[in-house]
Amino acid sequence: MSLEKPSRDTALDVGVTEDGLDYDALADLLGGHVLDREQHVNAEGFVIRPDEVQEVLSTLKEEAGFDHCSCVTAQEYDDRYESIYHLRKYNDPTQELSIIVPSPKDDPHNESAARVYDTADWHEREAYDLVGIDYDDHPDLRRILLPETWQGHPLSQDYNQDQPQIVSLREHANPLDEDKRSEDDPDTMFVNIGPHHPATHGVLHVETVLDGEQIADIEPDIGYLHRCEEQMCQQGTYRHQIMPYPDRWDYISAGILNEWAYARAAEDLADIEVPEYAQVIRTMSAEMCRIASHELALATFALDVFGDFTAVFQYGIRDREIVQNLLEDLTGQRLMFNYLRLGGVAWDLPEPREEYFEKIRDFLDDLPHKLEEIHDLVTGNEIFQMRCVDTGVLSKDQVKQYGATGPVARGSGVDYDLRRDDPYGYYDELDWNVVTEEGGDNFSRVLVRLREVEESARIIEQCVDLLEQWPEDDREIQANVPRTLRPEPDKEIYRSVEGAKGELGIYIRSDGTDKPARFKIRSPCFSNLQTLPEMSQGEYIPDMIASLGSLDIVLGEVDR
C-alpha cells in the first residue's frame, strides 16, 4: 500500500490540463469499458456497460479524483433506458464527466453505484421510483417519493396516468403496530418523528429507533410533499412556462437562486448571452435571497435549540423582513418572485433608483450591528455552545460520500462554492470570500451561515456601487431571445448554481420541441438530508433535532 499511495496521488489528476479536462486520457484510463462517447454541453459522456458501473465509477473515483457524484438522472428513450451519473470534483467542479449507462427496454436494470458513492443510494431509489430502472446490488431499493403501493413509474413512457391508485390505509399500515425493528432488541423503542412534528421543518417523517434517549437507528422517510415538479417542467415551454416553478422548490425566500439554476441551464443549452447589466441585477437579487434564506435558517435552528418561539426566532424574522421588502420592491413579490427571464430579468430596478439604492444601503449599514446582536444572543451563549459544539459531527469524507454541498459541506471544511469554483453571473468580478469552518458540527454550520450573510452583504454592496454608476444608455436587461425557444434536438446539459442550501443543478435534454424531453432537478436538500443518519446515530434526540435544523432542509425541495 505504501508504494501505491504516491502513484495514486499523481494519478488523481488524470486528464487534467491547463485548459480543461482531456477526455481522451480519461477514456484511456477506463480502456475497454468505454463503449461510446457522447458530447453533452457541460461535459463529455462515456457510455458503459450496465454491469460495469461499480468498476468504472470506483476507478474514476480512486484514480481520477471524481469524488463528487452530484446527480443521477434516469430517463426512458424509445429504444432504451438510460441512467446518467454526473460526476465532478470537489476541488474543481468545472471538471465534469457524465457516465451514461444504457439498459434494455424490456428488462431495465444496471449495477448500482451506491457501493461507490453513498449518495447514489437515494438518487437511484428515486430513479427506480419515477422511471422504473432496477439497480442490482442496491442496498435498499424501495420507492422513495411515492407510496410503496404505487402502481407504475410515472416518468416511464407506458405509464397510464388515468390508472386509479389505491393507497389503502390497511396496506399503508401504521408502522407503530409492527414495531418491527425493536423486536430483536427489547430495550429499544420505535418512534415516528413526524410527519406531524414541531421540529421537522415540514412534512418529514423520521423513523427512529430509540435506546433510552439515544438514537439507535434512524431513517428519514420523504415524499410527503412530492408535487411532480420535474414532470410539470417537462410539460412547460422553455421560454416562459418553466420559470415560475423553481420558486416553488425551495420556497423559503430562495426563489431567485432557484430561478437562476433553470436560467443558467436553459441559457447555456440555447446559447443565450445575458447582458452584463442584467447579470449584476441577478447577482444582487440572488444574494438578497441568500441572506433571507440564511436568516430564516438561523431563526428556525434557534427555534429547535431554544425550544420555543423565542426572541432569537423573532430577531431572525425581523432582519429577513427587511430583505423581503427590498425584494418585493424589485420583483413585486415576496416569495414567488418569477423575476428572472431567459436572457435577462423581468424588469429594471424600481424607480426612483436613488431611493431604492438608499434603502439597500440602509439595510447594509444596519446589518453588522444586527449580526452582532445575534452573535451576542446565540453563538456567544454558553448553553447554546454546550448544545451545538461537537454534536451532529459530519466529517469531510462523509460530506463527499453523500454529495453534501452548501453550508453543510463548508461547515465541515470542504471548500466548495460554485459561485467561485464554477463562476456564473457577476461573481468572479467581485471581491468576496468563500466561508468555511473546520468543525463539522452544528455550531460550525450556524457560523458558516452567519458569516455567509456578511459575505452576501459585501456582494450586494459592490453590485449597488456598480448599478449606481452604470451608464443610463447601457441598461440592457434582456437579451434577444426568440419568442419560442427550440434548442436543437438531443442536446443534453447539466448545470448547477450555488443555491441557498448548496448545489442546485438542472439536467435538461432537448428533443427539438419547445419543451424539454427530460427535466431533472438535483436538489441540494435531497443530498444533504441523506447525511442525517450519519450525524445523529448514537446521539440524543435533542441533538438529532438540532442536526436536522442545522441541515436547513426545505421539504419542498427535497420532495420536489
* Positions that interact with other proteins (CB under 8 A): 189, 191, 197-199, 210, 213, 302-311, 313-315, 318, 377, 381, 383-384, 386-387, 540-543, 545
Contact yes or no for 300/549 (Cβ under 8 A): yes
In the bound state with other proteins, the residue whose beta carbon lies nearer, of 463 and 546, is: 546
In the bound state with other proteins, the residue whose beta carbon lies nearer, of 378 and 493, is: 378
Dihedral angle, C-alpha 305, 306, 311, 316, nearest 10 °: 0
Angle of CA points 208, 214, 220, to nearest 5°: 25
Q: At what angle do helices 442-469 and 541-551 cross, to 10 degrees?
A: 20
In the bound state with other proteins, the residue whose beta carbon lies nearer, of 83 and 442, is: 442
Beta carbon of residue 376, minimum distance to other proteins (angstroms, whole number) = 11
In the bound state with other proteins, the residue whose beta carbon lies nearer, of 467 and 551, is: 551
C-alpha to C-alpha distance for 227 and 229, rounded to whole angstroms: 5
Beta carbon of residue 519, minimum distance to other proteins (angstroms, whole number) = 36
Beta carbon of residue 552, minimum distance to other proteins (angstroms, whole number) = 15
C-alpha to C-alpha distance for 165 and 163, rounded to whole angstroms: 6
In the bound state with other proteins, the residue whose beta carbon lies nearer, of 147 and 542, is: 542
In the bound state with other proteins, the residue whose beta carbon lies nearer, of 313 and 494, is: 313
Beta carbon of residue 173, minimum distance to other proteins (angstroms, whole number) = 16
In the bound state with other proteins, the residue whose beta carbon lies nearer, of 387 and 410, is: 387
Beta carbon of residue 127, minimum distance to other proteins (angstroms, whole number) = 34
Helix (H) or strand (E) holding 59: helix 53-63
Nearest to 297 by CA among 113, 487, 528: 528
Q: Which long-range CB contacts under 8 A does 147-153 form with residues at least 24 apart?
A: 147/172, 147/223, 148/172, 153/128, 153/129
Beta carbon of residue 211, minimum distance to other proteins (angstroms, whole number) = 12
Q: Which residues, listed in sequence order, are joined to residue 467 by a DSSP beta bridge?
A: none
Beta carbon of residue 219, minimum distance to other proteins (angstroms, whole number) = 17
Beta carbon of residue 213, minimum distance to other proteins (angstroms, whole number) = 6
- Determine the straight-line distance between the first and last CA of the chain, rounded to whole angstroms: 44
In the bound state with other proteins, the residue whose beta carbon lies nearer, of 35 and 311, is: 311
C-alpha distances in Å from residue 345, one per residue of 252, 284, 341, 377, 494 = 21, 12, 5, 39, 22
In the bound state with other proteins, the residue whose beta carbon lies nearer, of 47 and 377, is: 377
Residue 179: CA atoms inside 13 Å, Cβ hemisphere, count? Answer: 11
Beta carbon of residue 174, minimum distance to other proteins (angstroms, whole number) = 12
Q: Which residues, listed in sequence order, are joined to residue 493 by a DSSP beta bridge?
A: 508
C-alpha to C-alpha distance for 444 and 410, rounded to whole angstroms: 9
